Amino acid sequence: MDATLLANVTRVCPFLARTPVSSLRALGVSVSSQSSSFSTNCEKPTFVSKSATTALFSAAQRCPIMKTAIAVQAIRRISNSPAFRQAVLRENESRNTSVPFPFGKPIPEKSSSKPVNVENILGKIYPAENCPVSSKSDLDTESAGRSSTFDYEQFYAEELDKKHRDRSYRYFNNINRLAQAFPTAHTGTGEHVTVWCANDYLGMSKHPLVVNAMKETLDKYGAGAGGTRNIAGNAQLHLSLEHELADLHKKPAALVFSSCFVANDATLSTLASKLPNCIIFSDASNHASMIQGIRHSRAEKMVFRHNDLEHLEQLLKSVDINRPKIIAFESVYSMCGSIGPIKEIAKLARKYNAITFLDEVHAVGMYGNSGAGVAEHIDGMDEIDIITGTLGKAYGVVGGYIAGSAGLVDLIRSYAPGFIFTTSLPPPIISGALTSIRYLKKSQTERFGQQSNTVKLKSVLDSMGIPVVPNPSHIVPVLIGDAETAKSVSDELLHKYKIYVQSINYPTVAKGEERLRITPTPGHNEELMGKLVDSLSTIWKERGLKYVSDWEREGGRANVGVGKKVKQLVDLKKFGPEVAMTA
């Protein structure tokens, strides 16, 4: 069904107005895929819709109002096409008779000396007063206009239809996390659900120290920054935060951005475009922000297989050692949970005269004695040239940053449009982030609680044979292997069991590796974990979803079913009994 038509009638159709969105989604699932064509090889010419058949389309055809509207739209599309007119004329010449219209009743025969009259065809099926095309001249005028102008709305609809057909269209659930009932949220209908997939890994967004600091700053400095960093938006709070971040990563300087997507994009695009004849070596699983920055730099790039040191070295060997090089990679890859070989990549960088760009977005606050990330945990921060991180995940607020040498940071500050030409973060946000960083530099309680719950959940799911993608980090990816099924399981968890776990589909993960991404927090107690495990167990049995043994028989997928065992990066024993007791 035409997407624009559907959007318009939703506002006036009683059925669409009262039917829940979840039901409409279910009805809108394609049951067969067809292509657009106009055929005259049968008694009655037929038109096959561009869109796949859906239950929603079938329901619309039974509606007396929508049935007519659909037919009118179809007639207008067909009648305006040269293919339709040529087909009618050919049929007329071959049979010496008029042609029955595709959607209507037979038209009385006409003299073979007269050509087929499209206006008469339309008029016999729909009275003139009801027909959107009142005359052949109108039809020709509209057709000529369409052929010479670009139809923007049709383009939007067709692009979105591609997303629906390949099952990559994104649905955003209405989830409102409750600070005083973490990790509970309410949906758009007011129902309470437990959130199991947020990136607020440590629950710092609701921590009293963070919230109170933001309230006090709001009262003192107001809601907004007032401008860019260059124009009225450069406060002492911003400078203090950058000093704190530089100290966190043991670097001479740091720079704060509106998000880490912007930080990665701006830094890579600016640096690689400034370095003469620069080439970037990028891990195949790098985040979209890094890919975007590389693309915007217009520098040459080489992509090495995920965490494959041998492949990376082969590529580095192929380039002149004196040519400027950047190796861009991550510490924790958020969709599979794997961890980059930081020290080994740094060693290759030194060997082949490259600099390193490490994204610690999913690691800052989570790993290391002071929460500086995996590089701190393995004692490798001094081996990395540029570290990027976020204030919006473990730190619970919003924003991004880079840390590196004073010269590097000043270069980005002076040249990066993504930093220069955007309003700086509001004072309350900066204050909350500053408070969160300082707190997590000292407190181990939240990190222990999160890691402990991760270990428990992975262990229980593993004992049940539910396929968790093996990894050493805090991410718990549960493999499903099909986009439609992953979305359906996510919906069932939300609506039936009041558990929110987002499904992850292409292009975020490869096709056939669709999954649920679960992220335990310190707030997910044994009762909540029991409900999640029981729900997943029931769904796997009722739906006949694949267990680890099933993937093993198929040769494995996404490292599931290949006998791979991975040890957690964090050893809980190293936290000590005092931390364990307070967690």
Asked if residue 36 has pLDDT above 70, the reply is no
Q: State the Cα–Cα distance between residues 277 and 129, nearest whole angstrom.
A: 68
The more confidently predicted of residues 20 and 236 is 236
Residues 192 and 198 sit within 8 Å (Cβ to Cβ): no
Amino acid 302: pLDDT: 98
Q: State the Cα–Cα distance between residues 17 and 438, nearest whole angstrom.
A: 50
* 3 state DSSP class of 303: strand
Matching residue, tokens 């629950």:
203
Q: What share of the chain is helix, strand, coil (3-state, %, to 5)?
A: 50, 15, 40
Asked if residue 4 has pLDDT above 70, the reply is no
Asked if residue 98 has pLDDT above 60, the reply is no
Amino acid 99: pLDDT: 47
The more confidently predicted of residues 34 and 513 is 513
The more confidently predicted of residues 89 and 186 is 186
Amino acid 97: pLDDT: 52
Amino acid 239: pLDDT: 98
Q: How confident is the model at residue 145 (pLDDT cuts 50, 70, 90)?
A: low
Q: What percent of the chain stands above pLDDT 90?
A: 71
Amino acid 166: pLDDT: 86
Matching residue, tokens 């390193």:
356
Amino acid 70: pLDDT: 75
Amino acid 577: pLDDT: 77
**Least confident window among 61-75, 231-245, 467-481, 486-500:** 61-75
Q: State the Cα–Cα distance between residues 107 and 74, nearest whole angstrom.
A: 18
**Least confident window among 102-111, 149-158, 274-283, 413-422:** 102-111
Which CA distances in Å does 441 have to 152, 331, 438? 52, 19, 5
Asked if residue 136 has pLDDT above 70, the reply is no
Asked if residue 146 has pLDDT above 90, the reply is no
Q: What percent of the chain stands above pLDDT 70?
A: 77
Q: Which residues are catalytic?
A: 393
Asked if residue 120 has pLDDT above 90, the reply is no
Amino acid 300: pLDDT: 98
What is the average pLDDT value for the chain, to the nearest integer?
A: 86
Amino acid 141: pLDDT: 55
| pLDDT tens-digit series, residues 324-382 | 999 999 999 999 999 999 999 999 999 999 999 999 999 999 999 999 999 999 999 99
Q: State the Cα–Cα distance between residues 82 and 490, nearest whole angstrom.
A: 46
Asked if residue 207 has pLDDT above 90, the reply is yes
Asked if residue 298 has pLDDT above 50, the reply is yes
**Least confident window among 131-145, 283-297, 456-470:** 131-145
Q: How confident is the model at residue 112 (pLDDT cuts 50, 70, 90)?
A: very low
With a CB cutoff of 8 Å and minimum separation 6, the contacts of 165 are 30, 33, 52
The mean pLDDT value for 154-179 works out to 93
**Least confident window among 5-14, 19-28, 176-185, 448-457:** 5-14
Asked if residue 110 has pLDDT above 70, the reply is no
**Least confident window among 37-51, 158-172, 217-231, 517-531:** 37-51
The more confidently predicted of residues 89 and 340 is 340
The more confidently predicted of residues 437 and 60 is 437
Beta bridge partners of 176: 186
The more confidently predicted of residues 375 and 52 is 375
Q: How confident is the model at residue 96 (pLDDT cuts 50, 70, 90)?
A: low
The more confidently predicted of residues 108 and 487 is 487
Asked if residue 305 has pLDDT above 80, the reply is yes
| pLDDT tens-digit series, residues 387-436 | 999 999 999 999 999 999 999 999 999 999 999 999 999 999 999 999 99
* 3 state DSSP class of 534: helix
Residues 117 and 93 sit within 8 Å (Cβ to Cβ): no
The mean pLDDT value for 32-50 works out to 42
Q: State the Cα–Cα distance between residues 261 and 258, nearest whole angstrom.
A: 8
Structure tokens at 146: 């369409």
Which CA distances in Å does 351 have to 226, 316, 321, 322, 461? 46, 9, 9, 12, 42
Amino acid 103: pLDDT: 42
Amino acid 41: pLDDT: 41
Asked if residue 582 has pLDDT above 90, the reply is no
| pTM beyond 0.85 | no
Find, among 309, 311, 268, 312, the residue nearest to 287 by Cα. 268
Asked if residue 9 has pLDDT above 70, the reply is no
The more confidently predicted of residues 218 and 99 is 218
| pLDDT tens-digit series, residues 548-578 | 999 999 999 999 999 988 999 999 998 877 7
